[in-house]
Structure 1
Amino acid sequence: MTGQGDPAARPQQYVGHTVTPRRKKLAPDPDVRRAIVDAASKSVREQGVRGLSVATVLERARLSTRAFYRHFDSKDQLVAAVFLEMTRSEVLRLKTRMSEATDPVEAVAAWIDGRLDLAFDEEIKAELRQVSLEAQSKSFSVPDMVAPAYGAILEPLIEQLQRGLELGVFKDIIPATAAKSIHGVVWAGTQRQWATNHWDRNEVRERAVRFCLRGLGVAPRVIEELTAGDEAAC
């Protein structure tokens, strides 16, 4: 029989300290997350991504470090959210422009024209140039950071490419792949204009539209009709 002096027979006790229950982690709050992203977006517009400081963002939003980590795991995750937030208004602008098109061919041309605003529209260029450049650089070093924003920009273009494929106006394409190629053509023209600032918009648009639509298999007659205004302007 085990005696009372045997430690194994004694009830388990905790001596010298009190066990406190672990604090339950609060669920994310959409309003708090919005405040953090808004504050971060303002910082990025003023100082760029390199100048983004979590401490400054929280000071601007009047929130604590604990509030930050309830909503984001890292600064990189916050930057990704900022890129996506800034992209939303750009996507809406592109969709509005594309909505005036009568068919997928015109819609693709409208997307190209809308994205060229980054190079030729002074107001849009001032708003998005630096962020676009930084997002492009991050697409190589930290691709996951910009993937959601990049995907959002391409989404309306992919939709029209898919629609055109189903209607037979585009030939033998994979919409997602074609959208990336079109983006590459437009981005190259945009960067060239930023570097030199002496290209004519109509000329850049015509070249981009012709090149991209030919790659999509659009009939030459349709391309000529669509770019006739550009040629007249040149």
Structure 2
Amino acid sequence: MNSRTDAAVGRALAARRQEAVDEVEAILAAAVEVMERDAPAPPRVSDIIAAAGSSNKAFYRYFSGKDDLILAVMERGVGLVATYLDHRMSQVDEPARRVAVWIEGMLAQVADPDLIRASRAVTVQLAAITDRGIADAEIARPLRDRLSGSVAALGCADPERDTDAVFIAVLGLMRRCLARNVKPDVADINHFVSFCLRGLDVARSRNV
């Protein structure tokens, strides 16, 4: 094909890709809306399709079923949180402070009423998915990865295990807040950050 033909095909493909992106975003946003509205009852695909102004054909073009959609919603949420963490962590250099900012950024997701409502709705549905381990191990990995570099920079003897300890502790606190419908206040967050940093400092000192 000549350059003009290539350009024409490129424009057509770009338009189709954008159309697909827009359809998927509409379905994901509708899924969160329906999950929040109907929680704790499981959302119905028909309701999600109606809320998105979409169709069965479009839905199954992108998702194999409801579980696949819920995992996609979780993945999208993780991506947004990861971007938020990148922004906040880029503003500090000292490793311990970066760890603190990571923890604070994670806990911010259960300190905001709007975020906690959406997170709770998704978490309830995620618990019913057979492959929940995939969500914990794979989908949440970008969040863990943003912590691991700062933990390693502290000079801990076993940064992988130390990263896991902090990561699991933070997720545990977040899930407890969601389950009990409570949000941590500033004092709670500051105490938790201090606790984690003291633990990492002990781990680091054992390597000196």
TM-score, normalization by structure 2: 0.70
Q: Structure 1 residues 141-150 or 59-68, which shifts more?
A: 141-150
Contact 1:138 1:146 in 2 (8 A): no
| Larger relative contact order (CA 8 Å, sep ≥ 6) | 2
* Aligned-partner residue type, residue 60 of structure 1: A
Structure 1 partner of 2:169: 185
Deviation at 1:147, TM superposition (A): 4.2
Q: 2:195 aligns with which of 207, 210, 229?
A: 210
CA distance in 1, matches of 2:130, 2:195: 28
Q: Does the C-alpha gap of structure 1 residues 33 and 180 become closer, same or farther in structure 2, counting only changes over 3 Å?
A: same
Deviation at 1:65, TM superposition (A): 1.8
> C-alpha offsets along residues 62-109 of structure 1, whole Å, 9 cap, x if unaligned?
332222222111211111001111222222222222222222221111
Deviation at 1:127, TM superposition (A): 4.3
Deviation at 1:41, TM superposition (A): 2.4
Matched ranges for 1:109-120 at <5 A:
109-120=100-111
TM-score, normalization by structure 1: 0.63
> C-alpha offsets along residues 166-212 of structure 1, whole Å, 9 cap, x if unaligned?
xxx2222243x433321222234445556495976335533443334
What's the Cα RMSD here? Answer: 3.5
CA distance in 1, matches of 2:155, 2:77: 31
Q: 1:153 aligns with which of 123, 143, 146?
A: 143
Contact 1:115 1:186 in 2 (8 A): yes
| Alignment coverage as a number of residue pairs | 188
Quick check: which one's helix share is greater?
2
Q: Structure 1 residues 74-83 or 41-50, which shifts more?
A: 41-50
Q: Does the C-alpha gap of structure 1 residues 209 and 138 become closer, same or farther in structure 2, counting only changes over 3 Å?
A: farther
Corresponding residue SS for 1:60: helix
Paired-residue identity, %: 20
> C-alpha offsets along residues 36-58 of structure 1, whole Å, 9 cap, x if unaligned?
22221222233247432111111
* Aligned-partner residue type, residue 77 of structure 1: D
Structure 1 partner of 2:91: 100
Matched ranges for 1:33-182 at <5 A:
33-48=24-39, 50-132=41-123, 134-135=125-126, 137=127, 142-162=132-152, 164=153, 169-175=154-160, 177-182=161-166
CA distance in 2, matches of 1:192, 1:100: 29
> C-alpha offsets along residues 119-166 of structure 1, whole Å, 9 cap, x if unaligned?
44445434434434654x35886322454431232231123334x1xx
Q: Does the C-alpha gap of structure 1 residues 47 and 212 become closer, same or farther in structure 2, counting only changes over 3 Å?
A: farther
> C-alpha offsets along residues 1-53 of structure 1, whole Å, 9 cap, x if unaligned?
xxxxxxxxxxxxxxxxxxxxxxxxxx993333233222212222332474321
Contact 2:70 2:125 in 1 (8 A): no
Corresponding residue SS for 1:51: coil
CA distance in 2, matches of 1:31, 1:110: 33
Larger radius of gyration: 1
Structure 2 partner of 1:228: none
Q: Does the C-alpha gap of structure 1 residues 128 and 215 become closer, same or farther in structure 2, counting only changes over 3 Å?
A: same
Q: Does the C-alpha gap of structure 1 residues 86 and 72 become closer, same or farther in structure 2, counting only changes over 3 Å?
A: same
Structure 2 stretches of 5 or more lacking a match? Answer: 1-16
